Amino acid sequence: MTDFAGLHLRLKDSVERFPDRVAVEEAEGGSVTYRELAALSDQFCNWLTAHGIGAGDRVGLYLPKSIDGVAAILGSLQCGAAYVPVDPLAPASRGAYILSDCAVRVVVVERAFAAALEAELKQLGASPELLVLDAPGGGAALRAALEEVGASREATTCVPVKPTDLAYLLYTSGSTGRPKGVMLTHGNALCFVDWCGDVFSPTELDRFSSHAPFHFDLSILDLFVPLCHGASVVLFGESLGKEPVRLAERIHARGITVWYSAPSILTMLVGQGQLDQYDWSALRMVLFAGEVFPVKHLRALKSLWPAPRYFNLYGPTETNVCTWYEVPYTIPAERTEPYPIGKVCGHYHGRIVDPEGREVSPDSEGELCISGPGVMQGYWNLDEQNRRVFLDVPDGACWYRTGDVVQPDADGNLRFLGRRDRMIKKRGYRVELGEIEAALYRQPDVKEAAVIAESTEEDVRVRAFLSTKSGQRISIIALKQFCIQQLPPYMIPDTFTFLDALPKTSTDKIDYQRLKELV
Amino acid sequence: MNEIEQKIKDYILNEFLPGEDPALLTDSVQLVRGGILDSIATLKLAGFLEEEFHIKLEAHEMSADHLNTIPQIVALVESKQKA
């Protein structure tokens, strides 16, 4: 496997070819060239190596989107380690759980979050080394921290990796109440990056948006596709996602040529971004993924951004994008049904199975299973779940059960029909309703908790039903305040309903169907 | 309680805290940092304020720094109406 060039070696190739082109920009801040990015990631790699971090280790990132964060990602890969990005806006207890679960040896953390994280890690008996950055942005904070600890500035020789070596661990919502770590390798990531190269034909002149946070799987396309092709990545920070007018202005000002995000951000831009104020001729491609895009909003977006090609990308974190569909140039006025998720990507095989795992007849609905070089290695330290998520078939291939129910249409494009379990998508994020219930059960007065999701074309509303030990209602304000200590903001229930006891089935399980009827 | 404050409280209770005892939505309740308004809810609230009170909010005003408590929101609306 000496010919295999890992993710970081592909980037080195861009550094050699385009040293003075801009590699990464912050939408509201600084930028670095490929040469500067390589120098910073080399210095971080040197610091890691000096601390004995290398192949088989993991490096935690507890940072907002920034050039500092990108350099830390690349430096981690360069020394042979895998990176573990954690949402700094989620409760520190959740972040600490993730970082201790996968036993990171080092965490790069912004100073504002460091004390809370360290206290939570200590409670869990974990004590990774922390590299604390003051206000990440532009790369200056990482550079200053590395200078302070005396990290060598020498150029590094990238550690060779195998396709099966772990590149990153992305934690997603877990049905048992704790997030679970999806293990993805250099080989997994590169087959996806190469597929994107074939389909989207990026060049060094492209300017890709990076809107998704590092812990969200959309960030893999955002970061590695442009950086492997000498293009520029423009990082759009979390706060911009809440300010559609400023976001639109920044997309225009930064000359984005390829935009990629969940549809909910695009819907927000259509409604409140004042997109008609600008010339959008630079924008050549709009990619969206993570949830269904209501046709009326997609149509409205196309009327404001008429020129680009539009692609609907589908895939769970466990496979990254595994089906794709190009939206026609004109959306018929009478169309109300969302566009399909399309056909299986060239580097994958798909099959549709019944609940017993048997392939269904052509044109029938069933669960989509995917095999190919992008399928994850499994979940970190979750052997039982690993046995369940792969199809038990004798063909020797590793078939990942997506849990998504699909059906081919007359053209062979797959239509997404729903889930076979209790996972939902909210604003592009995966949410296991069981994780919300587990958090509610941690509230001392909660006796029973059940959560359902109600989907409309506009949004998904999470509704919690509770009974209490005291028989008294709990203040909803207090419940939401409790939840924000336990869960990321997008997982906090929208409504709470109190019942004397939750309805049960004949086998004494919570009757979710009856709860849905109560809404 | 003035009319502006009442309208804002009614809107927040109806939209984001259905079923809550209105007396518990006090001046000190943190709306954004307390998990009551997420990013989408904050935008919805901003849209309501613009429409109901015929004001225009700047992008930076649609944030936790300006919309985190009822008194902050009332002050923001009143300052816009005077401007």
Instruction: Summarize pLDDT for A143-157 with one digit per residue, the tens.
Output: 999 999 999 999 888
**Using CA atoms, how far apart are residues A410 and A389, in angstroms rounded to an integer?**
29
The pLDDT confidence band at residue A478, using thresholds 50, 70 and 90, is very high
State the DSSP string of A40-85: HHHHHHHHHHHTT--TT-EEEEE--SSHHHHHHHHHHHHTTPEEEE
Q: At residue A180, does pLDDT exceed 60? A: yes
Predicted local confidence at residue A1, as pLDDT: 43
Query: What CATH architecture applies to the domain A423-518?
Result: 2-Layer Sandwich (3.30)
Q: What is the Cα Rg of chain B in Å?
A: 12
Residues in B touching A476 (Cβ below 8 Å): 17, 19-20
Please tell me the CATH superfamily of domain A7-12+25-185, with its number. Answer: ANL, N-terminal domain (3.40.50.12780)
Shortest distance between the Cα of A474 and any Cα of chain B, in A, equals 9
Look at B35 and A497 and tell me if their CB atoms are within 8 Å. no
Would an 8 Å CB–CB cutoff place A197 in contact with chain B?
no
pLDDT tens sequence across B5-28: 999 999 999 999 999 999 999 999
Tokens encoding A477: 């304000």
Do B63 and A242 make contact, defined as CB atoms within 8 angstroms? yes
Residue B21 near chain A (CB below 8 Å): yes
Q: For chain B, which residues make up each domain, given as ranges?
A: 3-18+28-82
CA distance A479 to A167: 38
**What average pLDDT does this structure show over A343-370?**
95
> Looking at the predicted structure, is the pLDDT value of residue A273 above 70?
yes
Q: How far is B62 from B67, CA to CA, in rounded Å?
A: 7
The verdict on B38 touching A (C-beta cutoff 8 Å) is: yes
Chain A residues within 8 A of B37 when measuring between CB atoms: none
**CATH architecture, domain defined by A343-419:** Roll (2.30)
Task: Looking at the complex, report in whole angstroms how far the Cα of residue B60 sits from the nearest Cα belonging to chain A.
Answer: 7
Amino acid identity of residue A244, one-letter, is P
- Strands A58-62 and A106-110 come out as parallel
**How close, in Å, is residue A149 to chain B by CA atoms?**
35
Dist. CA A278–CA A301, nearest whole Å:
13
Query: What is the rounded average pLDDT for all residues in chain A?
Result: 94
pLDDT at A2 over 70: no
- pLDDT at residue A341 in the model: 97
**pLDDT tens track for A382-429:** 999 999 999 988 888 899 999 999 999 999 999 999 888 889 988 888
Q: pLDDT (tens digit, 9 = 90+) per residue, A27-75? A: 998 999 999 999 999 999 999 999 999 999 999 999 999 999 999 999 9
**Hey, are the CB atoms on B19 and A241 less than 8 Å from each other?**
no
The distance of B3 to chain A (nearest Cα, Å) reads 23
Taking residues A149-168, report their average pLDDT: 93
CB contact burial A119-149 (16+ within 10 A = b; e otherwise): ebbeeeebebebbbbeebbbbbbbbebbeee
What percent of chain A stands above pLDDT 70? 99
- Nearest-CB residue to B59 (from A246, A427, A490): A246
Find the residue in B nearest to A267 (Cα): B40
Residue of chain A nearest B62, judged by CA positions: A243
Higher-pLDDT residue of A259, A337 = A259
**Does A496 lie at the interface with B, CB-CB under 8 angstroms?**
yes
| Nearest in space to A71 (alpha carbons), one of A208, A257, A214 | A214
Report how far residue B33's alpha carbon sits from residue A239's, in angstroms, rounded to the nearest whole number. Answer: 14
B83 Cβ under 8 Å from any chain A Cβ: no
* Residue in chain A nearest B43 by alpha carbon: A242
State which H helix or E strand residue A100 sits in.
helix A92-101
Q: What is the pLDDT of residue A296?
A: 92
- Contact A47/A105 with Cβ under 8 angstroms? no
Determine the Cα–Cα distance for residues A356 and A38; give it in Å rounded to an integer.
Answer: 50
Measure B43 CA to nearest chain A CA, in Å. 7
Domains of chain A, residue spans: 7-12+25-185, 343-419, 423-518
What are the pLDDT digits (tens) for B20-72? 999 999 999 999 989 999 888 998 999 999 999 999 988 788 878 889 999 99
CATH 1.10.3720.10 is held by the domain B3-18+28-82: no
Rounded to the nearest angstrom, the gap between the alpha carbon of residue A1 and the centroid of all alpha carbons in its chain is 29
- Sort strands A180-185 and A423-426 into parallel, antiparallel or unpaired: unpaired
Nearest CA in chain A to B29: A477
